[in-house]
Structure 1
Amino acid sequence: MQYRNLGQTGLTISEVGFGCIPIIRLETNQAVKTLRHAYEQGITFYDTANAYRDSEDKIGRAFSGMRDKIVIATKTGRRDGAGALEHLENSLRMLQTEYIDLYQLHQVSREQDWEVATAAGGAFEVAKRAQQQGKIRHIGVTSHSLTMAVRLVKTGLFSTIQFPFNFIEDAAKGELRELAIKMNVGFIVMKPFAGGMIDNAAIAFKFLRQFPEMLPIPGFDSPEAVDEILSFYNEVNTVTDADLVLMDKYRNELGKQFCRRCEYCQPCPHGVSITPAMGYQVIARRMSPAVAVDFARNAMESVEKCIECGECVLRCPYELPIPEMLKKHHVMFKNHQESTK
């Protein structure tokens, strides 16, 4: 494992981090085992959020008594000061710590989010006050909007930017990456597998390792998953022509519009299983029609409950036309269903 500085923070971190969403589906003992295994293999950066259910609690349990050995990043999605402060205090309690190394304003992608967060008494003011009190060491921000992410970095207010980056969603390698390097802002890579759409870890990391100044934070749900990713770092990274062809195959399969499974659209007020239904097109291409129909039956039948109210569209950070895509996938599902009778 190699170590480097995280932008201008002065924090020394491992070249790959640990995205802690997947540990919410693990029993506490298994989560602690996975977290400790990652640390024993050299991972020192752990990214979580107040919204990730009991993720912070599991991290606190895993690293109790060894706080100075790791770097913890967490987040608040609240824009108002009172809400952000409540999240911060809860994070400190759950993580069993007196300070957060990196506290991030989460998913600042719209103008109105930015205006509220930076208004008097807003989330940013609370974070700055907490930083002065020693409860926060550095302040970062996350976004799914490239335009907004560039703007956020340009403000000079944040030590880090967290943004999606993978060989399918590679827009950040241009202006955003160059700006972060120029301003010495740490770049944290979310969604290294495009929200689960890339199911080949080796090819995903062949791409990512071409950008060593960017910190990928894959999610792990077992010690074996940790070992798989870290095994890639034991050899020199080489991207072959065959690798490039495979990347293109994934891009062509997914197209320009695909669900990253971030689940910001959930829950649907009418009971539609949006996230699994949004992935039916990919499932159908990787399985036979009969298997795909059986595998996704419950989710696809729930699409019939959609009344196209548009709430999911308003929540989607990628501005996907979700009802339209669901309808298209449902037609495909019905056709597959008919063909297998």
Structure 2
Amino acid sequence: MRLVPLGSTGIMVSAVGFGGIPLIRLNFEEAETVLRHAVDRGVTFFDTANRYVDSEEKMGRAFAGLRDKVVIATKTGQRSAKAAMEELELSLARLGTDYIDLYQPHQVSKPEELEALLGPGGAMEALEAARTQGKIRHIGITSHSLAMARKLVATGLFATVQFPYNIVETEAADNLFPEAKAAGMGILVMKPFAGGMLDDGGLALRFLRRDPGLLALPGCDTVEQVDLAVDIFAAEADWTEADEAKAQAYRDELGSRFCRRCEYCQPCPQGVSITYAMMYRVVAKRMSPAKAVKFAATTMESVRNCLDCGECATRCPYNLPIPEMLREHLAMFDSHKAAQ
């Protein structure tokens, strides 16, 4: 596995990293198998977050005795100094380490969040103190808002920026990535599979492999997925006309108004299965409407409980009009059901 610099941090990392969200689906033994296989294949960069249920604990157990072989990144969603320090201490305990290589305030996408983060008593005060104490080596930042991500890069306060980028979400390449590179920042790519909507993993990773300045973080929960990522990033970049045609087909299918399955919108107070209901249009196209009706019946029937309170939309980092989209998908489901 090739090693590449993580921006100007002085840290060398594997050419592809490992996203920790899918570890939630595994038990501790299964997670250890996947994580240690990744280390054996040369992956050195592992990204997780305090809010990813038990992902940190699973990494901590898997990396016992391997701390010098891995670069660990984790995150906090807290904006105050006190709460951020509490989460940092919790992450250190869960990961079984006395330092974290890259600590990132998570999902800073609104002006008021940035103000709270950087203002008096804000999380940055605690993180800078923790860096002085040696508990953090470097401070990065993550966002789902392009405009905010560019503002965060311009502050000069962060060593890395983590942002969604994939076949169908390419806007960051026009300005965010060049600005981050000019500032000497490392660029971490979240959502390489568009939240699972890109079902051709090889195609999605080959697309990212073309830019050696990006560190892709594919989420893996099997050794086969690890092998796919490693094999692609260990090879020369290869992007064919056939690949571009497939990529364009995904763009035509998904557009820009689709759910990335981040699940920030949940839970719904009325029990609506928001994430899976938001996928109905794509499921119906890939399965056929007749099969989709049977497959998604329970999910789509839960949409009838929606009171249009809009709480889910306020939590969506992509600003999707979730209630409106749920109504559209329910109408489609009902039409498919009636046609049987």
State the TM-score bracket (shorter-chain normalisation). Answer: over 0.9
Cα separation, 2, equivalents of 1:288 and 1:171: 31
> Number of residue pairs matched?
340
**Structure-1 residue corresponding to 2:283:** 283
Amino acid at match of 2:53: R
What pairs with 1:227-246 in structure 2 (closer than 5 Å)?
Answer: 227-246=227-246
Show structure 1 runs of 5+ residues with no match: none
5+ residue gaps, structure 2, are none
- 1:44 deviates by 0.3
The answer to whether structure 1 residue 69 and structure 2 residue 69 are counterparts is yes
Q: Which residue of 2 aligns with 1:34?
A: 34
Residues 202-223 of structure 1, C-alpha deviations (whole Å, 9 max, x = no match)? 2112211111110000000011
Indicate if the aligned counterparts of 2:168 and 2:255 stay in contact, CA closer than 8 A: no
Amino acid at match of 1:197: M
Cα distance in structure 2, aligned partners of 1:251 and 1:327? 23
Alignment partners' CA distance in 1, 2:82 and 2:235: 48
Q: Does 1:212 align with 2:212?
A: yes
- C-alpha displacement at 1:321, in angstroms? 0.4
Deviation of 1:239 after TM superposition, in Å, equals: 1.4
Percent identity reads 55
> Quick one: distance in 1 between partners of 2:141 and 2:263?
19
Distance 1:104 1:97 in 2: 17
Q: In the alignment, residue 289 of structure 1 is paired with which amino acid?
A: P
Q: Which amino acid aligns with 1:153?
A: V
Shift of 1:77: 0.3
What does residue 52 of structure 2 align with?
Answer: 52
| TM-score normalised by structure 2 residue count | 0.99
Give the alignment's Cα RMSD to 1 decimal: 0.8
- SS of corresponding position for 2:114: helix
Equivalence for 1:172? 172
Distance 1:339 1:97 in 2: 58
Deviation at 1:333, TM superposition (A): 0.6
- Offset at 1:233? 2.9
Partner SS, residue 138 of structure 2: strand
Aligned to 1:314: 314
Q: Deviations over 1:97-147 (max 9, x none)?
A: 000000000000000110111111111111001001100000000000000
**Structure 1 partner of 2:197:** 197
Residue deviations 1:145-175, cap 9 Å, x none? 0000001001000000000000100001111
- Corresponding letter in the other structure for 1:129: A
The Cα offsets for residues 232-282 of structure 1, whole Å up to 9 and x where unpaired, read as 234322212221111111011112200011111011111111000000010
Runs of 4+ residues deviating >4 angstroms = none
Cα gap change, 1:145/1:195 in structure 2, threshold over 3 Å: closer, same or farther?
A: same
Instruction: Give, in whole Å, the separation in 2 of the partners of 1:169 and 1:54.
Output: 29
Give me the whole-angstrom Cα distance separating, in 2, the residues matched to 1:251 and 1:135: 42
